[in-house]
Chains A and B, each alone.
Chain A
Amino acid sequence: MAQFALLLPHAPDRYSSATEDEMMAIIKDYVAWTEKLTAEGVYKGGHKLNEAGRTVTAGGAEVHDGPFTEAAEILGGIMVVEARDLDHAVAIAKTNPHLKHNARIEVRPIDDV
C-alpha cells in the first residue's frame, strides 16, 4: 500500500457568496466521505488551506498579498489516502464529493523514499 495526495482546487470566488445553508449542504457531503473512508482505513488525514496567503517570488523582491484573485483556481485543501497503486487512488478520488461541487482533483503519489 502507498499513500497518495488528493489536491482539491476550486474557483477563487467559489465559496465567497455561499450562504451558511449552502455551505452546510456541501460540507456534509465531504464529511460523510471522510468519515466513511476513515472507518475503512483509507483516509489518512488532510488539511484545509486558508485562503489568506502570500506568494514569494525568487529573489524575495516581490511579496504579494492574496495572489489568488487572478488565478483560475486556488488550492483549497489536501487529503491523503492509502491505495494499492495510482489507478486505485484515482478510483477512490472519483468518489470524492469534490467532483460534484468542483471541477477536478489532482492525484499525486507521495514519494516514499
Chain B
Amino acid sequence: MTTPDDDVRARLDVIVRRGRGRLVADLVRRLGGGRLDLAEDVAQDALAAAIAAWPFRGVPDNPEAWLFQAARNRALDRLRRETRETAYAEETDDRGDGVERAPIDDPELRLIFLCCHPTLDEKSALCLTLKIVDGFTARETAGVFLEPETATAQRLARAKRALRDAADGVAETPSRFEIAARAPRALKVVYLMFALGYAPRAGERALRRDVASEALRLARVLADHPLTKRPEAAALAALLSFQASRFEARESAEGAIVLLKDQDRALWDGALIRQGLAYLEPARTGEAVSRYHLEAGVAATHATARSFEATDWPSILTLYETLLTLTPSPVAMVNAAAARAAAGDPTGALEALDALSDEKALATYAPYHIARADALERLGRAADAGTAYAAALEAGPPAPVVEHLEGRLAAFE
C-alpha cells in the first residue's frame, strides 16, 4: 500500500536522483571535464542543502532550476577559495559559429559519454558512470560486479584521478567520432543501470523503478539518435521495454518480489511490449548478433507467451546457450541453467549449476542458489531445496527477496 508519505518520498527520490545527474552534467560543461571531482562535490552540496530546506519552504515548483542556482552559487564560492585556475563558464550554449559543440543534447547521456572515456578500463568507466550519473554508492555498484566494496571504492578513486589527469587535452563534450567509439560502452552502462534498478542487491525495495525508467529513457535516446542509432542500441531498447512492461506485476502490494511464474500477466504493460516489438525491427537490420539481441529475444518470448507453462522454453534455452558462447559469464550460466530446468530438464540444470560451485563470486549471488533450489524442488528433493533456499538467504538479497525466500523456506520446515 502506498501512503501520501510514500508518494512524497518517491517524488523526492526522483528529483534527487535525476537532479544529481543533470547537475553534474551541467557543472562539468561549465567547469571542464577535468573538474569532475569538483562538479560532483558541488552537486552533492547543493542537493543536501536543498533537501534540508524543503521541509520549511516546501518543494519548489521548479526544483531543477532551484538546484542549478544552488549549485552555481556553491561552485563560484568554491572557485573563489581555490588557487587552481578553473573558470566557471556562464555561457555554454553553442554560439552559432558553425562549430558543433554538443552533438548529444541529453545532459545525462553526455555525462555517460564523458565517463566512458577510453583512458579508463571498462569496469572503471561503468562504476564511475553509475556513481556520477545516478549516485550509486560503492556498495551498490560492488554488487553488480560481484566484488568487495573496498575494491570498487578504490577503483572509483583511481578512475577519477585518471580522468582528471587525462582531461587537460580532452574536451568535455566528445566529438561525433568519439561518441561512435564510446557507444558500445555507453550501451553497457545503460544496461547495467537498468539491472541495478530492476534487481538491486542491497536495500529495501525490490524494484527501483525511477532508476530503471531512466535507463529505459536513455536506451531509447541511444536507439533513436542519429549518431548512436545502431542495431544493438535498438536491441537494448527492445530488451529494456520488455523488462519494464512487467514492473506492475513484479512487485506485490506489500513491495515483495513476484516471480515470473506467479505474475498476473494482465498487469503487463501492453504499450511497452508493443514498443519492444517495434524496436526489434531496427535491431534486425545488422549483421552482428549482440548479447542485447539474444536477451531481447528471451524477453520477447516471455512477453508474448500466454502463460508461464505455455512459454516456448526450448527457444529460450537456445537463446541462452548462444548467449553463453558470446559472454561465458557465471551469471549467464545460471540463467541458462534456470531456463533448462523450466524447459523440463532439471537434472541437466542441476548438473550445470553444481559444476559452478567453485565460482567464488556466485557464493554470494542469491539467484544462483534460487536456481539450484528450484531445480532440486522439481526433482522432488525437498530437503536439499530447503538447504539451497537457506543459502540464498545467506547471500543477502534485498529485503523483499528475503521475505519471498522466507516464505519458500517455511514450506520445507
Binding site for B on A (CB under 8 A): 20, 23-25, 27-36, 38, 45-48, 77-79
Contact = CB atoms under 8 A, between A and B. Distances in A.
Nearest to A78: B56
B53 A48 contact: yes
A17 to B, nearest CB: 13
Contacts of B48: 20, 23
Given A23-B51, A48-B52, A28 B57 contact: no
Contact of A24 (B12, B53, B58, B59): B12
Contact of A28 (B5, B53, B58): B5
Given A31-B58, A35-B58, A38-B58, A25 B52 contact: no
Contacts of B9: 24-25, 28
A3 B399 CA distance: 45
A45 B16 CA distance: 23
Nearest to B52: A48
- Most chain B CB neighbours (cut-off 10 Å) among A34, A36, A38: A34
Given A32-B4, A32-B5, A35-B8, A27 B13 contact: no
Nearest to A79: B56
B13 A48 contact: no
A20 B17 CA distance: 11
Given A34-B56, A79-B56, A29 B5 contact: yes
- Most chain A CB neighbours (cut-off 10 Å) among B4, B5, B52: B52
26 contacts: A20-B48, A23-B51, A24-B9, A24-B12, A24-B51, A25-B9, A27-B51, A27-B52, A28-B5, A28-B8, A30-B56, A31-B8, A31-B12, A31-B58, A31-B59, A32-B5, A34-B54, A34-B56, A35-B8, A35-B58, A35-B59, A46-B56, A47-B56, A48-B56, A77-B55, A79-B56
Contacts of B57: 45-48
A45 B5 CA distance: 20
Given A28-B5, A28-B12, A34 B58 contact: yes
Contacts of A20: 16, 48, 135
- Most chain A CB neighbours (cut-off 10 Å) among B4, B55, B59: B55
Given A23-B48, A28-B9, 14 more contacts: A24-B9, A24-B13, A28-B8, A28-B12, A30-B54, A30-B56, A31-B8, A31-B12, A31-B54, A31-B59, A34-B56, A34-B58, A48-B52, A77-B55
A25 B8 CA distance: 10
Interface residues of B, number: 18
A63 to B, nearest CB: 21
Interface in B15-45: 16
Contacts of B135: 20
- Most chain B CB neighbours (cut-off 10 Å) among A23, A32, A38: A32
Given A32-B4, A32-B5, A27 B56 contact: no
A10 to B, nearest CB: 12
Contacts of B54: 27, 30-31, 34
A23 B50 CA distance: 12
A58 to B, nearest CB: 30
B16 A31 contact: no
A69 to B, nearest CB: 19
A24 B5 contact: no
Q: Please name the 6 residue pairs, one residue from A and one from B, whose CB atoms are nearest each other, closest first.
A: A30-B55, A46-B56, A28-B9, A32-B8, A48-B53, A28-B8
Contacts of B5: 28-29, 32
Nearest to B6: A28
Nearest to B58: A34
A19 to B, nearest CB: 9
Contacts of A48: 52-53, 55-57
A11 to B, nearest CB: 16
B12 A27 contact: yes
Interface string B49-73: 0011111111100000000000000
A24 B16 contact: yes
Contacts of A77: 55-56
Interface in B194-237: none
Contacts of A32: 4-5, 8
